[in-house]
Structure formats: structure tokens, C-alpha cells
Amino acid sequence: MSLREVVVAEPANAAACHTLARAIVGRLQFERPPKEESEAKAKDAAHWIERATTLEPKNAAYLRDYGMSQITGVTTLKKGRKILEEALLFDPKDPDIHEYLATIYSAPWVLGGDKEKAAEHRRTLQELDPHRAVLSEINRLLWVEKDFPSAIALSKAQLKREPESMLSLFICGYVAATTKTDLDHGLASLKQALSLPALVPTGTSAYSEPFMVTPSNCWEKIGEIEGQLGHGEASRAAFATAVKLDPANYWAAKALEKIKPE
């Protein structure tokens, strides 16, 4: 029986509604369909998450995902934030909620941003999951603040703190690939990361970004660096390995399409 058949047969089954929504979001992240189709499927997922929260209004996980499902643009930011704050009341130790709220409160003040609240949620995330917190901060510095020097400094500090951690080594390579600096060291770090046991993600939300510290993503970053070093065939082979390990690695697959065999 499919999930849709389950929710039709058992309309009061909140877990089935939430699981169906998660499945829809997961397929969206994998398939990345055209905008119109993507928006329709996102609304479908939001519908089932909303039903789950109606059935179990004190379930923090359902509320968390419902809040995220509502953030589709500037005008819906306030609504999503309000639902996430409500979810936090029921589970103040959910790292997903703190990470989302840190991101939302980092918005400009005209959009309801609040730097103090953003920092507070980042501190709480640091207490709950320090590894996830450092990766979140690296992403913020690279893609929001565009503060490459600070990202590089943080990656070096993390590597010094935990020199044999897959997370530290991945971050070193990730920052090198993104900032196009210290490429040889970044490449060596990624290859060393591949020799260590894979990490287990802590995020449980359907709306969490795919966990970055995986063998597939290590190979993806190796592909980026090899390309930056002018090693076309090595780059293509690395991206191919990334896709083989995880067919859902969208960026590795797109990069592989652009590289012609030598």
C-alpha cells in the first residue's frame, strides 16, 4: 500500500501524513523539477504536514517542518518563524529548529531579522551539536556573509582542534574548493577524510539541507579542486565517483554533465 493510500484509508494517521510529506520533499531535492511543478509539489507536501500538525498540534517535529514548509518567500517569513518558535516550546533541544531560526533571524531587520536572536540560536546549536554548528557557521560565512578570510580562519581552527576528524578535514577541503585557495592542502584533506568512518547526520527535518559530510560530497569537492588545478580527467573521475556513491548528489551530477572525456 502506498503512503497516499494509507492517508486516505487512515485520515487520522498523523505519522503517515508527515512521512508522505517527507517523501515528497525528498523527491523534490533529488529530482529538482521545473519551477511550476516544484511549487505544486511543495504545496502538496505542505498540505500533508499541516494535516499532521492539526492531528497532533503539540508534536514539535511536525510543527518544525510545517513552519519551514510555509517559508516560500519574503511575505511568508514571519508566519514560518512564528510556527518555528511554537515548535521550540515543545522541544527546546531540537538542533534543526535552532539552526532554522538562526538563519531566519540573520535576515535584514526590515524582514524581521534580529542579530542578537540569531547569535543566541547559534550559541544554543553550538551547545547541542558543536559539529553541526561549525558547519553551519562555515556555510553562513561562505554564502551569506561572503567573508572568505573568516571562513578560512575558522576551517583552520577546526582542523587544529580536531585534526583527525572527518568533519574537520572535509571543511578544510570544502573551504579550499569554494575560496580557490590552498588547493593542494584541501585536496589532501579530502582524501584523508575518505579514509575515516562516515559520520551520521543529526538533522531529522524533511527540510534540512542534505548532510554535507559524506563520501560522495568529499569526491564532489575533490572533483572541484582537481578541475581548478587543471586536471580534467581526474576531475571527471571524481565527480563520477560522487554520483556513483550517491545518485542524489545533484551538483556532482551537473558538474559531470559539463565535463567531456579527454
CATH number, domain containing residue 260: 1.25.40.10
CA 139, distance to chain mean position in Å, is 10
The answer to whether position 127 is within a domain reads no
* Distance, C-alpha 151 to centroid of its chain: 18
* pLDDT band of 76, cuts 50, 70, 90: confident
C-alpha grid cell, residue 231: 586536471
Indicate whether 101 pLDDT > 80: yes
Model confidence band, residue 110 (pLDDT cutoffs 50, 70, 90): low
Do residues 167 and 134 touch, judged by C-beta distance below 8 A? yes
| Distance of alpha carbon 195 from alpha carbon 112, whole angstroms | 44
Secondary element (H or E) of residue 262: none
What is the domain range of residue 238? 165-262
Residue 1 has pLDDT above 80, yes or no: no
Under the banding of pLDDT at 50, 70 and 90, the label for residue 146 is very high
pLDDT greater at residue 261 or residue 232:
232
Q: What CA–CA distance (Å, rounded) separates 100 from 66?
A: 12
The residue with cell 580536531 is 162
Q: Could you report the per-residue pLDDT of 192-235, keeping only the tens digit for each?
A: 999 999 888 888 898 888 889 999 999 999 999 999 999 999 99
Query: Is residue 238 situated within a structural domain?
Result: yes
Q: Is residue 100 part of a domain?
A: no
What band does 19 get if pLDDT is binned at 50, 70 and 90? very high
User: What is the rounded distance in angstroms from the CA atom of residue 171 to the CA atom of residue 138?
Assistant: 8
Position 23 in a domain: yes
Domain termination site, one of 17, 36, 56 = 56
Where is average pLDDT lowest: 2-11, 69-78, 186-195, 215-224? 69-78
Spatial separation of the C-alpha atoms in residues 135 and 165, rounded to whole Å: 13
pLDDT, the chain, mean: 93
- pLDDT reported for residue 261: 67
Q: Is residue 259 part of a domain?
A: yes
Q: How far apart are CA 198 and CA 166, in angstroms?
A: 7
Give the end of a domain, one of 37, 56, 75.
56
Count of domains forming the chain: 2
Is it the case that residue 36 has pLDDT exceeding 70?
yes
Residue 148 placed within a domain: no
In this model, does residue 125 exceed pLDDT 90?
yes
**176 domain residue, yes or no:** yes
Domain boundary among 56, 80, 99: 56
Does 66 map to a domain?
A: no
Instruction: Report pTM.
Output: 0.89
pLDDT of residue 232: 93
